[in-house]
Structure 1
Amino acid sequence: MDGILVRRVIPSDNSCLFNALGYVMDHDKHKAPELRQVIAATVASDPRKYSEAFLGKPNEEYCAWILNSEKWGGAIELSILADYYGREIAAYDIQTTRCDLYGQEMKYPERALLIYDGLHYDALAVSPFEDAPEEFDQTIFSVHKDRSIGPVEMRAMKFVQEEQRKRRFTDTANFTLRCGVCQIGVVGQKEAVEHAQATGHVNFQEFR
C-alpha cells in the first residue's frame, strides 16, 4: 500500500458521525441532514424490525429524535448506513483499540474507516503524501477473500494504538464537563446525560 494513513477531522457539531461517514463514502462533510433522513425513513419503513426494544424508544419517537441535529449517532445508525451504502463500516475506538465492524454479515465488497475518541467521530483515509489535498484521499478499500482489507487494516490498527498511547481519547466514565449554558460541572457521561435531561441543556465543554 502506498501513501500514509491520516485522520481527517470532522467539525464537532453533534453530527460528526454522519459527516465523517459522508466524507468517507462521498467525500462530502455536509451529509448529516440527508443521512439522518435516510435513517428515519429506514426505521419508519420497518416498525417490526426497529421496535422499541431495539431502538430504546418508540419507533415514531426515534424517527423524530434522529432528525434533530443536536442528537448523536451510534451503533444503530452505523448498521443502517452500512446497508444503505452497501459497504462495511469499521469504527475504531481509540480508548479500547477495538474495531467494531458494521455490515460484515452481508459480506459487502468494500469497507470505509472511522475513528472514535469516546465523544467524537473522525474519518480515516489514505493520503498519497504528507499534507496532500483531501481530494486525493482514498477512503474506500476492497475487502479481500479473507475478509480483511490487507495492509491498510494493520496500518489502521497501528495508528489507533498510537493515538491511544498519546491519550487522544475521552474517558467518558470519568471525564469532567462543564455545561456551556449554566456552567455547572459534571463528571462522566452518565451525569452529563442526567443534567441534559433535567435542564434541556446539551452544550457541554470538556475541561480538566
Structure 2
Amino acid sequence: MNRILLIDDDVELSELLQEYLAMEGFELSARHDGEAGLQAALSGEHDLVLLDVMLPKMNGFEVLKALREQSSLPVIMLTARGESVDRVLGLEHGADDYIAKPYHHHELVARIKALFRRIDFSAEESSSHNPYQVGELLLDPSTREVTLAQERISLTGAEFGVLQCLMENTGELVDKDTLSLAALGRPLMAYDRSIDMHVSNLRKKLGKREDETDWIKTVRSRGYMLIQV
C-alpha cells in the first residue's frame, strides 16, 4: 500500500481524504502545520507528499525548500485555483506536480496514480538500461544518479525523468507530451507549464557547457532537445 503524507491545516478535509483515499488503496496520514509536516516528510515513512501552500508555522514553499535540501520525495503542491504564481513557485522550489484547489477527489486520485505509475515504471526500467552519457554528463538509471564532470547533481524525480527522456533521444526533438509522460506519468494539460519549469530547473542545475551553450535547446511550441556534444 502506497503511503501518502498530507500537509494541510484543514482538518475536516484531511479526514475526508483519509477515508476516500483508503477506498482507493492508499494509506494517508496528515499533519496540520508546516513544521510537523516537514518532520514527517523527512521520516522516510512516506512515498509521496500532498503539500498545501497556506500553512501555519512554515508555509508550503518553505517546507518544500527545506525538504528538497535533504530528499527527492515526490511532492504534489495544492495551490489555489487561479494562482498561477503559486504553481510556478512550487515547481521552481522542486515540486513534481500541482493541482488547484478546490479539486474533485477523482482528479486528485488521477494525479496521484499517474505519479506512482511513473515511479513504478522508472523502477522497472532502471535495471534494464545501461547508463546514458553525453560528453561529461552521465545518467545512471540503476542508481538514479546524475553526474557532470564527475560531480553529482541532485535532481527531483520529475527532473530525472525529463533528463533521462532527453538523453535517450539525444539530438532529437522530444515533444512536451512525451516529456510529461516520462516525468509525471500523465499527458500535458492545457496551459500546463510544469514541463517548462522542470526544464528550466534542469538548465540551472546543469549550467553551461564548455562552449557556453545550453545543454537543452528549446524548439518553440514543439518541445526540447538535448544537444549532442
Which of the five TM-score ranges fits, normalised by the shorter chain? under 0.3
Q: TM-score, normalised by structure 1?
A: 0.25
More RCO (CA 8 Å, sep 6+): 1
